[in-house]
Amino acid sequence: MSLYSKRGVSAQKEEVHAAVKNLDQGIFPNAFCKIYPDYLGGDKDFVNVMHADGAGTKSILAYLYWKETGDISVWKGIAQDAVVMNLDDLLCVGIYDNIIFNSTIDRNKNLIPGEVLEQLINGTQEFFDLMKTFGINIHYLGGETADVGDVVRTIAVNGTMTARWPKSKIISNEKIRAGNVIVGLASFGKATYEKCYNSGIGSNGLTSARHDILEKYYAENYKESYDNSLSDDVIYIGNNRISESSGLLSPTRTFAPLIRNVLKNNFDKIDGLIHCSGGGQTKCLKYIPGNVRVIKDNLFDPPEIFKKIQEASKADDREMYQVFNMGCRMEIYTDETFAETIIQQASLFDIEARVIGRVEESNEKELLIKVGDADLIF
């Protein structure tokens, strides 16, 4: 059993998928988000999308950093994480404008004061103001803030996005086919709209990253930061303090300004979009249609944060690429002739992009990831 599983987390969410298997899968079953008829407007040419996500256990890292350093501004990054995990999922179905957002914050009031809530709420609005300068309008309609200390040890930061969108402008992933190339967008670096270097960590796999990198000091001094029923040999087994590990708190990068430009000007050139979030580089297997082989043999060299996590955890490559984005958090499936145009547009935002792989014919659905001289088959 992997360390990830021993900590009570599943990258593939098998139990969740089993629980929802009987629910309506929407109009386009392969789409990255569930797409439904226009229940809100009753127009057959429009669809509705409602999507929920959040910052996950990254909020625990922010809690530790804030308690250790006193820097309350770290919570604004968590606000961005909760938003981007929603926004960049919506991008994958072609939605980039006229979005409404509702936040859900559950806190232990005895540990999380009102000043933290202010940082989260103001940070959310500041991010929306930034996106508006790129033509991406997200409207903050409030939300629920609950004091539930009996349920939540510290704080959980989540949100829901809703949009009404033309049906003809939805990316359904049904066009992904043999012959496509995959343009990967780097999760790391410093985009023109980011304030500082981004480690690329995103908001997935942070339960393992936190315990693998941070030292036992946090188990002894912050028992509210972990599940006390876990075995001691999987709790905070690293050698670092949170102040030395700020890369774990890099706010999740949004690709919205770039994807908006690509979709607005060249919608018909895009056959599919995959956000490499939970499930890391294997995420595509859930959404590609039919039996094809996806080959990723030119991924980015993993940025330092993932090398640090792997060194600390001793996880093998297979587990790392199933849990983390490993430096590539967005995949665009398109024709080879259009790939260079996307790469050039990405460069305008100082986002590294490259052709990371391709789609080939196959008798079964299969993923091959090349790591060094090894081939990982999923």
Tens-place pLDDT, residues 267-322: 999 999 999 999 999 999 999 999 999 999 999 999 999 999 999 999 999 999 99
What phi and psi values does residue 118 have, to the nearest 5 degrees?
A: -60, -45
Where does residue 326 fall: left (phi above 0), alpha (psi -120 to 50 degrees), or beta otherwise?
left
Total-model pTM = 0.94
In tens, the pLDDT along 103-157 reads 999 999 999 999 999 999 999 999 999 999 999 999 999 999 999 999 999 999 9
Domains of the chain listed by start with CATH number: 3-377 (3.90.650.10)
Q: Please give the average per-residue pLDDT across 163-170, as a whole number.
A: 98
Rounded distance, CA 253 to CA 194, Å?
A: 8
Q: How many alpha carbons lie under 13 Å from residue 119 in its C-beta half-sphere?
A: 18
Rounded distance, CA 48 to CA 167, Å?
A: 9
Look up residue 247 and give its DSSP letter: G
| Amino acid letter, residue 45 | D
Would you call 19 helix, strand, or coil by DSSP? Answer: helix
For every residue of 156-224, DSSP letters joined together read EEEEEEEEEEEGGG---STT--TT-EEEEEESSB--TT-SS-B---TTSSHHHHHHHHB-THHHHH-GG
Q: Per DSSP, which regions of 316-352 are E strands? A: 328-334
